[in-house]
Amino acid sequence: MNDLHKDKIEFCRPTWAEVDLDNLAHNFRVLKEKVGGGVKIMPMVKADAYGHGMIPCARKLAECGADSFGVASIEEGLRLRKAGISLPVLVLGAVLSDSVVGFFEAGLTPALCDWETALALEEEARSRNCRIKAHIKIDTGMGRIGVLWNEADVFIRKVSFLEHIEIEGLFTHFPCADEENNDLTALQEERFFRVAGSAERSGVRIPLLHAANSAAIFNRGSAGFNMVRPGLALYGVSPFSGKDDISLKPVLSLKSRLVYVKRLPAGSGVSYGHTYRVPDECVVATIPLGYGDGYPRNLSNCGPVLIRGRRYKISGRICMDQLMVDAGREVLSTGEEAVFIGSQGKEEIKARELAVLGGTIAYEILCGIGGRVPRVYMDKTSFFTAEEVWKEKRLFTRFNAEMRLGFSCDAHGLSGEAMTHDISASGLSFVFEGENGASLSSPLPLHSSLDMRLLDRRGVEVLRTGGDVVWSRRISPQRYSAGVAFTAVPGTSPDDIRSFLKKYCGCQSIFSNPRQAHSV
């Protein structure tokens, strides 16, 4: 195990999943290059980012340049909003018409595919005196939710007449994009663009057209669409069965430790039903991972495990909380690491391998890893190392405080002084106002690199650091707010931030208006 984590991963139950955010960023760049410039990317972070952890993954993807996010439900979108993520969020699933208020409360974009929901959205928007953006879902061959493609022309025109709904997007889904020599995907594209073309000819301009999932991105690129929706490939798993893309890097590893080791005589049965008996006297190790953690029970007697860089096989039936491994005559010790997904030495176990053994798909293996398995986030490119961000809640503890901030952005010729709104170990947010109430031409561009100086009330610099703008929005013609992730600058180290937080958080002499710290 990486020395960086030895002192931090001290779970009472030593089973955890490591999520490599650097690899997530790498995969995003691979996909971005694949689709080319001018094509927006909407990463799928539904189902807790395929089991990887929605909030940390979404934050990293936002830093990488994601344009929006896709979720399955209003509740998932609300989680993103509560975490301070302000990028557009499309709820891909259908909802009952009496649930539409959630889109307005959380600022989410609905997928629209029935008239009852359209009317409910229109009525709610009218009552709030606002307009809501929606993406119309058409069924070109999936057979799931969506207006049938040959009925979509009429539906789109009807929605376009609703005063308080703006049709921002049109989308469909490919069920067979991962199959080579399948004609359905081409037929779906033809149907989709026939509908889009008809809408445009009738005077309905729809800015965003999207359909491509991970498989379609690799098979067909953007294929005339101006947005794509990658999912599985982002997390380092090839969308094609039996074929891995070497350009992708796996993001998640599932690990545990041996908690009990003993010798069993030849012929001894192991686990429920004694479906496995040791052929000879051997060492049997017990590991605290089971189907209660989402590890599939049907991998009993066949699931691979890496211990000391060697492959072993699960012995006997997997229990709810534990499983056993026959290690032969190998002398093992408690505390040794066992890898169920990931690499150890020269060996590697991939999620797809487990899926094949279990008769399922890699999606289910990853999404099935349960909530009681802690996620450990590794991010070497962050200003803070994985050691500081090993727990999700630690990353997002914010201290509400107003403090003077001097900043400059050489690339855009911007500079000024602002007031912070909150400060955390990973970044800060601030409000900037034009001089003498002058109007501002635009907010700070996303991903601008800033040089920042935090000042006390006397104007004395107490911290200098870099920053990357991860969100920026106008509050009024004269003011905007922005969120910035800390980045390293020459002469500054993570210790400087850590010392700053320890020394000054809540200190009256440095904060103009200190407030109680809270966790987001």
Beta strand 276-277 pairing with 269-270: antiparallel
CA distance 184 to 190: 10
> Using a CB cutoff of 8 Å and minimum separation of 24, what contacts does 122-127 make?
122/162, 122/163, 122/164, 122/165, 124/100, 125/164, 125/165, 126/163, 126/164
pLDDT of residue 243: 67
State how far the alpha carbon of 483 is from the alpha carbons of 56, 247, 414, 452, 454, in Å.
16, 32, 16, 13, 15
CA distance 5 to 282: 32
pLDDT of residue 390: 31
CB 310 within 8 A of CB 324: no
For 294-317, give the DSSP string.
Answer: T--GGGTTT-EEEETTEEEEB-S-
Dihedral sign computed on CA atoms, order 125, 128, 131, 133: negative
- Averaged pLDDT, groups of 10, the chain, 520 residues long: 45 89 94 91 97 95 93 96 92 95 95 97 96 97 96 97 97 91 90 96 96 90 86 93 77 96 96 96 96 97 97 98 96 94 96 95 96 88 38 45 84 81 80 66 72 85 84 73 78 70 53 32
CB 31 within 8 A of CB 413: no
CB 53 within 8 A of CB 29: no
pLDDT of residue 173: 96
Q: Hey, which residues are catalytic here?
A: 46, 272
Q: Which two structure tokens, joined as six digits, stand for 359?
A: 């008769």
The count of other CB atoms within 10 Å of the CB of residue 64 is 19
CA distance 121 to 115: 10
For 321-364, give the DSSP string.
Answer: S-EEEE-TT----TT-EEEEEEEETTEEE-HHHHHHHHTS-HHH
Burial of 137 by CB count in 10 Å (0-12 exposed, 13-18 middle, 19+ buried)?
buried
CA distance 219 to 212: 9
pLDDT of residue 1: 42
Helix-helix angle 54-64:21-35, to 10 degrees: 50
State how far the alpha carbon of 281 is from the alpha carbons of 179, 262, 303, 318, in Å.
47, 11, 22, 21
CA distance 486 to 468: 6
Q: What is the DSSP letter of 141?
A: S
pTM higher than the cut 0.75? no
CB 225 within 8 A of CB 232: no
Backbone angles phi, psi at 397, to 5 degrees: -80, 120
CA distance 208 to 228: 10
pLDDT of residue 48: 96
pLDDT of residue 482: 84
